[in-house]
Structure 1
Amino acid sequence: MAKIKREPFPLKHEKGDAVIKNIGLIVTGDINKPTLNKSKILVKNGLIKKIGDDKTIKDSEAETVIDANGMMVIPGLIETHAHITFHDYSAICQAMNWMENLAYCGITTLISEGLHAWGLGRYYDDPVATKANTITEATIYKRWMPGSALKVVGGALILVRGLTKQDFKEMTDAGVRLIAEIGGGGLSEPEDVMQYIKWAREFGWHVSAHASPCSIPGSSHMSPDKIVKIDPDKVAHLSGGSTPLSWDEIKEIIDKTRRDSALELSAQSNTRMALKIVEYAREKGQLDRIVMGSDQAVGLGLQWGSLWMLMAQVASMTNVPPEQVVAMATGNAARHFSRFVDMNRGIIEPGREADIVITDKPHGSAAKDFLDALKHGDVCAPALVMVDGRVVAIKGRDYQFTQRAVKINGDEKDLSTYGPNVEEYLFGSPAPRYHKWIL
């Protein structure tokens, strides 16, 4: 079954050209080859065209020249677990524009694990409404990027009674490719869902399972036995959603699920369990299974720096090198989901979409650089965020600045002296196309 391509964004989603120079190190997002000692990247028409140095890439090859000032380049982060609505609003947290702010913090791709909003069919075991809700979600996010910056993989089906194979075909034709976490709401018993899973797999869908006790009314306690029978492509929030299963149950799930089934850590979960999962995966030679999500926007609140915090925790409290931890939040997710949806990003290499973050240690950190800061447990931040070759931000809203600053066409974007007062820094828009001091 063909993957659904993102439809052309009708307003401001032009593809960008740029040269990024003076790169200190490229952290590739590839867990097997996590760093690349090259100093320049050429971006053409929104794609990474070439990686090299001053001899192979000239500044004159693009109108926009970004000086990374010795900082590191990483892929845009990929958040693999979010509960969204039809637009940029969280019905649970009652917050506006939370999704666009993820992009401004360097999380450039968001993957839905099912809608949360008033009146949805999922809460009423209503197959007609549930199908319509899921198609609407998928269609909106094929055509629209929150903040003109965030790529959302929408259209995650909550399983309810009464769905037919024809429903799955119609949803597939509309771009749906995800079964949301089984057990997080809707049907969850293996005998109730296996026919649906069979149909979904015939159409090339991704299947996720909620690895956790009950979290909200209507969710289920998903035991290892249930999860193994479901045979998910991703084990959702294995570290807890937000409460985890026991360690023995978690180990059983890791051991008995498929080698290519992703194991998801959540920023809103049990940190101790997350660290144990990573170390156990490292011992088994399965770090490529680890992906990172947050489970937002739910009652634990919004964390625009969610994956930055999770990367710092894992890098500072396990024996995994920080460059491989970055791959868990980028390339691991891209490679996993690219089997099901259009996901040509998450790794810094020619031919990939130019979703790129320039980053450094936080201002005042005792660390030497970005990777050392992660190893110290410092929560880092972007100095620049690029999506499809377009600069979309140089800071997240009310987010910390980096030790060094980028230059864009020779103009330094130093946020440590951001305008004449702190209010513009804290409350002004982080998007360069809006802010008078960045333009």
Structure 2
Amino acid sequence: MSSLEIIGLGGLVSGRLGDEPAPVESMRIEDGVITALDGGGPADVVLDAAGAVAVPGLIDSHVHVVFGDWTPRQSALGWIESSMHGGVTMMMSASEVHLPGRPHDRVGVKALAIAAQRAFATFRPGGVKVLGGSLIIEPDLEPADMAELAAAGVGLAKVGFGAFERQGDAAPLVRAAQEAGIVVMNHTGGASIPDSSPVTIEDVLALGCDIVGHANGGPTALPDADLPALFEAPGVLQLVQAGNLRSSLRILELARERDALDRVVLATDTPTGTGVMPLGMIKTVCEISSLGRIAAGDAIALATGNNGSVLRREEGILDVGRPADMALLFPPLGSAHADPLTCIEQGDIPGIAAMVIDGEVRALRSRNTPAPDGSCRIAASEEASV
């Protein structure tokens, strides 16, 4: 059994909507799972947080992985590991659509989804958990294919890139996928890549997906008049960095009016034409909190606990029995604010001083965030117990 004790915490954000930051000072982790808050015994490794605030690792529920830690979209290497330095501990494929020469036929799209799922099941750049292998739903697929793919381990699917006359026509295949236990996301708004098509509010409502992908546009938003109807769809509403910020803020306002923040999740929708953004998730959290007037803890919950819930994962919440995936935050050096949560609420990206995934320290000072005004260090177990 491997164990980690984190001491000297300056508080903890749970990742649950509505929770106030907790005055937690220490945490014990065994075999990658949190076993105690403010308690525990000697551990194999001790991490002195030196006053940093622990927040759940960010879950990016809209990325376009291909294979390896590489994206052909921007000819970039190492972007997944670099995202870990931006607080990301898990990401969900929104389809491997950027694969050069990607297949469009029934056999090919199934093979691609299975291959990507298998590849990322054991490949974790920087320790990041990549949920790969998202089926691109095409017209020549059959309902029985969904159960076959689910049995093969594929748990994700995407509507919006298939050769349908109207993307809403994919609804029967979406239903079959959901019945097989697959989480389905749809494209929303104007067309993105060449040969794709717009997805209107009528399409969104007909599809009934689990995730209304980039509800704020990817990157082109729906008309303002259509935004209230998004709440008639059954799925969560995803707001992305690579979308329309004005639309995000309007959807957030509508969610607040309906007491429906539990239906909002955050993501980046990268790598895309917008680029590769290692700080995309934490930047989105800061924008949503500061411009949307959302408490930092709740903005973090949209990027952690809410995403974990729709993905049916235990990650995204920091509590006993949950996976030990987290970032330790300080204010950035030179900030006008005394704590990282106030920084977020004022639009400043906090400094990451340590990243922990599955109870393993994956990084100390981030190479991508602003320099933290404090530092975490690995301490000897004997030091911690004095």
TM-score range, shorter chain: over 0.9
Please state how far the C-alpha of 1:32 moved relative to its aligned partner.
3.0
Letter in 2 for 1:67: D
1:27-426 matched pairs, under 5 angstroms? 27-52=13-38, 56-58=39-41, 60=42, 62-115=43-96, 116-121=98-103, 125-147=104-126, 149-180=127-158, 182-187=159-164, 189=166, 192-254=169-231, 256-258=232-234, 261-338=235-312, 343-409=313-379
Question: In structure 2, how many angstroms separate the alpha carbons of the residues matched to 1:227 and 1:262?
Answer: 12
Please state how far the C-alpha of 1:220 moved relative to its aligned partner.
1.7
Question: In structure 2, how many angstroms separate the alpha carbons of the residues matched to 1:378 and 1:109?
Answer: 23
Question: In structure 1, how many angstroms separate the alpha carbons of the residues matched to 2:20 and 2:67?
Answer: 36
Letter in 1 for 2:233: T
Question: In structure 1, how many angstroms separate the alpha carbons of the residues matched to 2:368 and 2:208?
Answer: 41
Question: In structure 2, how many angstroms separate the alpha carbons of the residues matched to 1:212 and 1:191?
Answer: 13
Letter in 1 for 2:116: E
Question: In structure 1, how many angstroms separate the alpha carbons of the residues matched to 2:135 and 2:165?
Answer: 13
Superposed CA RMSD in Å reads 1.7
The two structures have a TM-score, normalised by structure 1, of 0.83
Q: Deviations over 1:102-137 (max 9, x none)?
A: 12322010100001111111xxx3111111011001
8 Å contact 1:16–1:45 — kept in the other structure?
Answer: yes
Question: In structure 1, how many angstroms separate the alpha carbons of the residues matched to 2:100 and 2:209?
Answer: 28
Q: Deviations over 1:29-53 (max 9, x none)?
A: 011324222211100011001112x
The change in CA–CA distance for 1:191 and 1:355 in structure 2 (over 3 A counts) is closer
Task: Report the equivalent of 1:5.
Answer: none
8 Å contact 1:345–1:352 — kept in the other structure?
Answer: yes
Q: Give the gaps of 5 or more residues in structure 1.
A: 1-14, 412-439
8 Å contact 1:190–1:229 — kept in the other structure?
Answer: no
Task: Report the equivalent of 1:429.
Answer: none
Task: Report the equivalent of 2:6.
Answer: 20
8 Å contact 2:201–2:222 — kept in the other structure?
Answer: no
**SS at 2:361 equivalent:** strand
Q: More displaced, 29-38 or 153-162?
A: 29-38
Question: In structure 2, how many angstroms separate the alpha carbons of the residues matched to 1:364 and 1:371?
Answer: 15
Letter in 2 for 1:195: P
**SS at 2:121 equivalent:** helix
**SS at 1:195 equivalent:** helix
**Large movers: runs of 4+ above 6 Å:** none
Question: In structure 1, how many angstroms separate the alpha carbons of the residues matched to 2:65 and 2:168?
Answer: 28
Question: In structure 1, how many angstroms separate the alpha carbons of the residues matched to 2:95 and 2:82?
Answer: 20
8 Å contact 2:5–2:29 — kept in the other structure?
Answer: yes
Question: In structure 2, how many angstroms separate the alpha carbons of the residues matched to 1:282 and 1:399?
Answer: 30
Question: In structure 2, how many angstroms separate the alpha carbons of the residues matched to 1:190 and 1:101?
Answer: 34
Aligned-pair identity in percent equals 29
Q: Deviations over 1:269-325 (max 9, x none)?
A: 211211121122112101111111111111111110001111111111123211100
Q: Deviations over 1:165-219 (max 9, x none)?
A: 4432331122111111x22444373563122122212211111111111112222
Question: In structure 1, how many angstroms separate the alpha carbons of the residues matched to 2:119 and 2:365?
Answer: 27
The two structures have a TM-score, normalised by structure 2, of 0.94
Q: Deviations over 1:67-86 (max 9, x none)?
A: 11112000100001011102
Please state how far the C-alpha of 1:398 moved relative to its aligned partner.
4.2
Q: Give the gaps of 5 or more residues in structure 2.
A: 382-386
Question: In structure 2, how many angstroms separate the alpha carbons of the residues matched to 1:16 and 1:405?
Answer: 24
Question: In structure 1, how many angstroms separate the alpha carbons of the residues matched to 2:212 and 2:139?
Answer: 23
Question: In structure 2, how many angstroms separate the alpha carbons of the residues matched to 1:191 and 1:69?
Answer: 52
Q: More displaced, 317-326 or 163-172?
A: 163-172
Q: More displaced, 108-117 or 397-406?
A: 397-406
**SS at 1:81 equivalent:** strand
Give aligned pairs, total: 380
Question: In structure 2, how many angstroms separate the alpha carbons of the residues matched to 1:374 and 1:303?
Answer: 18
